[in-house]
Amino acid sequence: MKLKTIYASLKKDLSFIETELEHTVNAHHPVLRDASNHLLKAGGKRIRPVFVLLSGKFGHYNLPLMKNVAVALELIHMASLVHDDVIDDAEMRRGAKTIKAKWDNRVAMYTGDYIFARAIELVTELKDPAANRILSHAILEMSIGEIEQIRDQFNWDQNVRDYFRRIKRKTALLIATSCELGAVAAGASKEEQLHLKQFGYYVGMSYQITDDILDYTGTVKQLGKPAGGDLLQGNITLPVLYAMNQKNEKEKIMEIFSEEVHSSQEQVDQVLSIVKLSGGIEHSRQISDRYLQKAFYELEQLPASSARTSLRQIAEYIGKRKH
Amino acid sequence: MLQSRLSHSYLLRFIDFPVIDEEKLYVFYGMLEQAKLEHRRKQDTLLSIMLVQIALDTHELISLEEIDNESDRKNRQLTVLAGDYFSSMYYHLLSKWEDNELIRTLSEAIQEINEAKMSFYQTDYSTIEPVFENLKEIESILVRKVAEHYGLSNWKSFGSHYFYMNRLLTERKQGIIQSGSFMLQKIASTLLSVKSAKLSTNQASKAKIVLDSYIAYAKKEMDQLLQQHSELHQLFQERFEYNWGMTGIQEKKMAEEG
- Give the per-residue pLDDT at B184: 67
Residue A288 has pLDDT above 90, yes or no: yes
| Cβ distance of B78 and A147 shorter than 8 Å | yes
Residues 58-77 of B with CB under 8 A from A: 59-60, 62-64, 67, 70, 73-74, 76-77
- Give the per-residue pLDDT at A322: 65
Residue A3 has pLDDT above 60, yes or no: yes
Residue B66 has pLDDT above 80, yes or no: yes
How many other C-beta atoms are found inside a 10 Å radius of the C-beta of residue B98?
13
> Which is nearest to A131 in space by CA: A144, A119, A114, A116?
A119
Q: What is the mean pLDDT of residues B220-242?
A: 89
Residue B257 has pLDDT above 50, yes or no: no
CB A196 within 8 A of CB A180: yes
Q: A84, A121, A135, A173: which to substitute to probe chain B, counting the most B Cβ within 10 Å?
A: A121
Q: Is the ipTM of this complex over 0.90?
A: yes
Asked if B115 is an interface residue toward chain A (Cβ–Cβ < 8 A), one would say yes
| Cβ distance of B85 and A113 shorter than 8 Å | no
Torsion sign (Cα): A64, A65, A68, A69? negative
Q: How many angstroms separate the CA atoms of A253 and A244, rounded?
A: 7
Question: pLDDT per residue over A27-85, tens digit each?
Answer: 999 999 999 999 899 888 899 999 999 999 999 999 999 999 999 999 999 999 999 99
- Give the per-residue pLDDT at B235: 85
- Give the per-residue pLDDT at B246: 81
Position B233: which residue type? H
- Give the per-residue pLDDT at A42: 87
A92-93 vs A96-97, strand pairing mode: antiparallel
Question: pLDDT per residue over A142-198, tens digit each?
Answer: 999 999 999 999 899 999 999 999 999 999 999 999 999 999 999 999 999 999 999
Whole-prediction pTM: 0.94
CB B84 within 8 A of CB A146: yes
